[in-house]
Chains A and B, each alone.
Chain A
């Protein structure tokens, strides 16, 4: 398995990467490459130029900002899950990150690469949506910032415009009394999510004051915020009864994914089970 012939350039800066991208219409950004290179080996994807941004120093950092955490797009999955500032704030990032691929993949794969690729079964998108992260992108027309929900638009489809690259993800400061978790039902071969459920719940005095629940793997349209589940939680007491009722509302009205490991019916069922499990975790029950 060998890719088709391709040129390779390593960008030294974000602006150089953006220029190269603009000058070479058939080029692709290469970060960790753990989605792109296998696809190129299978000749499903054959760009003429790869622009490597993995070693751009300004893209690889994790820093506390306004109580939250800003993560450079070229940070690897391993960088993120081993970072103390992320660990102390976002359970969902650790739990999701630890379940991405395997050790070797986590050592090379990047946050920016994963979200730009927007595999409908990838783990990060659900986590970012549940945390209401914002995603910074930069292109020939400058930089802009989108919420995770705005960024993920569908099946391998994002709000990235032609010539833009992801530069940063900002996780907002967690609210007092909040807890976030990720629960995943894995496809046994690829270990991508058949259902991945990210939940972030804020509890004040036994009452749920805020709840965001997002899924990956469930929908053919990729990761999504399940507003019905969140709505069924807010204002209620953090009890098993509340959770079960809310979980039961999960994955309704979405275009369900299906494959030989999980039919639509089964996926929907799993979404409800995993919503419950995630919420039990997020509510600390």
Chain B
């Protein structure tokens, strides 16, 4: 392995923009999302949620609701409050103590801790009756003061979200060089850029609201959960082993078509366990589908860091040190991976693309009376990139130098990870391969830096404010080597499973533990399999999302599907070919070593004697003329556990125009040169980048969950929470560089998050640049950069 290229197979499909095979059902309205599924006798659940961010429950009276016609059952914390959902990643305090891990009950019976905390569930004959009955439940609350800001929640006297968690601190944590060494480096710096900022909380807003159906079949004592999830097997494992104590072999979890995730559908949510319990209790299927309003209150949010960051430079503009203090808001409860996001997925990326010799991050992770925070597209890496790239552009402005030259001066030199070793950072990771100068140079060519500066001056003369912002990012994806993440506190392995079943007729069914919710696996994976086996793509079916058909899987997040899941499939393909060669050798009367497999044919090297893939498949299942000691059949399953993360990187450049009179900002150009390693389907990779850019630009300019002093979300609907619409964005200008990943068989790195990771600081930097060009030397504008915030910055 590790050839870093694609010489292993015919390239009929790989590298081509093959149109997606899954599209047909979606464009004709035949996609099957969870809420589209209706089972005979199905009931409907509605969850009564707390209207308060922090309150003691004095009493719950369900009697009137229970008496309503059509109500099947009502559950409260008294019945199921002893069940709770777990956190999947343990992080320890600096002093070695284990993080505080308060329970997250399915339904709360004592104290609600955020608006939307679940208090009761009504199951009824219809959605309408369930909601009507829930409104008839009387809950007597004693309202308590609420805290929503992580940096203030740690102060003495702040309300305690969990009575037994002092100062609301889940844990504190650090990474990098010893603090004293960093302090010393900063003290010696010729220039220190200081930036205090908030990386604001955002709501993921996958367009499909979460939806679950619980089903229990008493005849077979079997549970089925249909769930809009990114990882059905993981949900089954968590729900069976850590929540309900159900026998895993009696539980089937199906993730059918899923309408986007962006991280928010990774986690095991309380409602998944609730519908499962209710299905057993009532003996009828139970469906729950959230409303968008509920999604704002209960889907895990992203980001929410309050940070002070300082970057020191020597007299030549070389970075000498980076010192950071951050408070990360975890919300009221620990979500499945929430503790990993501000630590191992964030602190480990603070090297960026730079040779910074001394780095220290001091992180405090805090409970507040808010919705849980967990991974959202990029998960920790966007926050790291934002911090670094804002500092780089701001430093260039403060020092009066060209921001791109400042970067070039500090970039890690190119390395391929094969003939040259990986790059060991000061924050634990070892980068696999990189050519950072390359992407910046290409981005600058596309931009025309000098031309832009000229245009900026000319525009200023005619009353327009233009600005350019840069972001050269790196991320760690292809998550992840199990031993590494295990040593860092993960409570699960992060391998993937790929099974290839060649049918007797030579058709191929591939079972993957990855889950597609927009990524196009049914196409991309089929391209890989078809090329490896030399067969038409139509002969390959990619099956995912059902724990009864797919052996196991860890799911899709962290841009891991192709790098890890694709590699698992590759391993199985190798086994198929190896066995096929034995069968072919037997039939062609030669040694298996003399067989080569090219273009779907097993050929005796140097001869024209060959057998087609279909012949071998049939022989494997009709083994009349067959090697002794070889099992019939052609079906292999493999687990692939990566040896390292993968490290995509790139250069994002935003050009913005700011309306001087109103502060309104428009992205005029967005250039993205990304290096995501080898590319199987350029069309799909471009699409992934486009979507990531939109979300990253959205965070910069439009998106942000805002709380009032009582812990109410003040913009919890699409009437108030702004996200990019078609007319908010330009056509994107993309290009690609390819530095293959040296440690997986496809040489791929991952493209799902790159756009979102790189783009946010580019946009903010561009607005800051525009303002400096007009003499407003502001360091920061709080995201999202609403028109008023930009306008206010220009008034100072």
Give the CA-CA distance A262 to B702 in the complex, in Å.
Answer: 14
- Within the complex, which residue of A43, A189, A262 is in contact with B720, where a contact is CB–CB below 8 Å? A189
A1-56 contacts to B, CB under 8 A, are 1-2, 4-5, 42-43
Contacts of A69 in B (CB 8 A): none
Q: Which residue of B lies closest to A3 (CB)?
A: B128
**B715 touching A189 by the CB < 8 A rule?**
yes
Is residue A205 within 8 Å, beta carbon to beta carbon, of the partner chain? no
**A188 touching B702 by the CB < 8 A rule?**
yes
**B722 touching A189 by the CB < 8 A rule?**
yes
**A189 touching B719 by the CB < 8 A rule?**
yes
Known: A2-B128, A273-B662. Contact between A261 and B719, CB under 8 A? no
Binds B, one of A110-118, A174-182, A263-271: A263-271
**B788 touching A266 by the CB < 8 A rule?**
yes
**A263 touching B720 by the CB < 8 A rule?**
no
Is residue B188 within 8 Å, beta carbon to beta carbon, of the partner chain? no
Give the CA-CA distance A187 to B784 in the complex, in Å.
Answer: 13
B227 to chain A, nearest CB (A): 21
Is residue B248 within 8 Å, beta carbon to beta carbon, of the partner chain? no
Give the CA-CA distance A188 to B702 in the complex, in Å.
Answer: 7
Contacts of B662 in A (CB 8 A): 185, 270, 273
Contacts of B131 in A (CB 8 A): 2
Contacts of A189 in B (CB 8 A): 702, 715, 718-723
Known: A261-B786, A261-B788, A263-B788. Contact between A1 and B291, CB under 8 A? yes
13 contacts across the A-B interface (CB closer than 8 A)? A2-B128, A42-B293, A185-B664, A187-B722, A189-B702, A189-B720, A189-B723, A260-B706, A260-B715, A261-B786, A261-B788, A262-B788, A270-B662
Is residue A141 within 8 Å, beta carbon to beta carbon, of the partner chain? no
Give the CA-CA distance A139 to B727 in the complex, in Å.
Answer: 43
Q: Which residue of A lies closest to B659 (CB)?
A: A273
B447 to chain A, nearest CB (A): 27
Contacts of B787 in A (CB 8 A): 185, 261-262, 266
B591-633 contacts to A, CB under 8 A, are none
Give the CA-CA distance A16 to B292 in the complex, in Å.
Answer: 38
Give the CA-CA distance A189 to B719 in the complex, in Å.
Answer: 5
B119-133 contacts to A, CB under 8 A, are 127-128, 131-132
Chain B window 135-163, contacts with chain A (Cβ cutoff 8 Å), 1 for yes, 0 for no:
10000000000000000000000000000
Interface of B is mostly: loop
- Within the complex, which residue of A1, A4, A261, A266 is in contact with B293, where a contact is CB–CB below 8 Å? A1
**A190 touching B720 by the CB < 8 A rule?**
yes
Q: Which residue of B lies closest to A269 (CB)?
A: B791
**A190 touching B719 by the CB < 8 A rule?**
yes
A188 to chain B, nearest CB (A): 4
**B127 touching A2 by the CB < 8 A rule?**
yes
Q: Which residue of A lies closest to B702 (CB)?
A: A188
Contacts of A190 in B (CB 8 A): 718-720
**A273 touching B715 by the CB < 8 A rule?**
no
Give the number of chain B interface residues (Cβ < 8 Å): 27
Contacts of A260 in B (CB 8 A): 706, 714-715, 720
Contacts of A187 in B (CB 8 A): 722
Chain B window 200-214, contacts with chain A (Cβ cutoff 8 Å), 1 for yes, 0 for no:
000000000000000
- Residue of B127, B292, B722 with most chain A CB atoms under a 10 A cut-off: B722
Q: Which residue of A lies closest to B701 (CB)?
A: A188
Is residue B59 within 8 Å, beta carbon to beta carbon, of the partner chain? no
B43 to chain A, nearest CB (A): 15
Is residue B792 within 8 Å, beta carbon to beta carbon, of the partner chain? yes
Give the CA-CA distance A5 to B126 in the complex, in Å.
Answer: 13
Contacts of B728 in A (CB 8 A): 188
Q: Which residue of B lies closest to A267 (CB)?
A: B788
Give the CA-CA distance A273 to B786 in the complex, in Å.
Answer: 17
Is residue B661 within 8 Å, beta carbon to beta carbon, of the partner chain? yes
A84 to chain B, nearest CB (A): 26
Contacts of B720 in A (CB 8 A): 189-190, 260
Q: Which residue of B lies closest to A272 (CB)?
A: B661
Q: Which residue of B lies closest to A274 (CB)?
A: B662
B129 to chain A, nearest CB (A): 10
Q: Which residue of A lies closest to B720 (CB)?
A: A189
Chain A window 231-273, contacts with chain B (Cβ cutoff 8 Å), 1 for yes, 0 for no:
0000000000000000000000000000011110010011001
User: Other than the known A185-B662, A189-B719, what 19 A-B pairs have Cβ atoms closer than 8 Å?
Assistant: A4-B132, A5-B132, A187-B722, A188-B702, A188-B722, A189-B702, A189-B723, A260-B714, A260-B720, A261-B786, A261-B787, A261-B788, A262-B787, A262-B788, A263-B788, A266-B787, A266-B788, A266-B791, A273-B662
A122 to chain B, nearest CB (A): 13
Chain B window 725-736, contacts with chain A (Cβ cutoff 8 Å), 1 for yes, 0 for no:
000100000000
Give the CA-CA distance A43 to B714 in the complex, in Å.
Answer: 18
B89 to chain A, nearest CB (A): 34
Contacts of B788 in A (CB 8 A): 261-263, 266
Q: Which residue of A lies closest to B714 (CB)?
A: A260
Give the CA-CA distance A190 to B720 in the complex, in Å.
Answer: 6
A257 to chain B, nearest CB (A): 13
Contacts of B128 in A (CB 8 A): 2, 5
Give the CA-CA distance A5 to B791 in the complex, in Å.
Answer: 47
Contacts of A261 in B (CB 8 A): 786-788
Contacts of A1 in B (CB 8 A): 291-293
Give the CA-CA distance A101 to B750 in the complex, in Å.
Answer: 38
Q: Which residue of A lies closest to B788 (CB)?
A: A266
Give the CA-CA distance A269 to B624 in the complex, in Å.
Answer: 87
Q: Which residue of B lies closest to A102 (CB)?
A: B725
Give the CA-CA distance A5 to B293 in the complex, in Å.
Answer: 20
Q: Which residue of A lies closest to B715 (CB)?
A: A260
Contacts of B293 in A (CB 8 A): 1, 42
Q: Which residue of B lies closest to A195 (CB)?
A: B662
Contacts of A188 in B (CB 8 A): 702, 722, 728, 786
Contacts of B714 in A (CB 8 A): 260
Contacts of B791 in A (CB 8 A): 266, 269
Q: Which 4 A-B pairs have the closest CB atoms?
A: A188-B722, A189-B722, A190-B719, A266-B788
Give the CA-CA distance A4 to B719 in the complex, in Å.
Answer: 21
B758 to chain A, nearest CB (A): 23
Give the CA-CA distance A49 to B612 in the complex, in Å.
Answer: 72
- Residue of B662, B723, B728 with most chain A CB atoms under a 10 A cut-off: B662
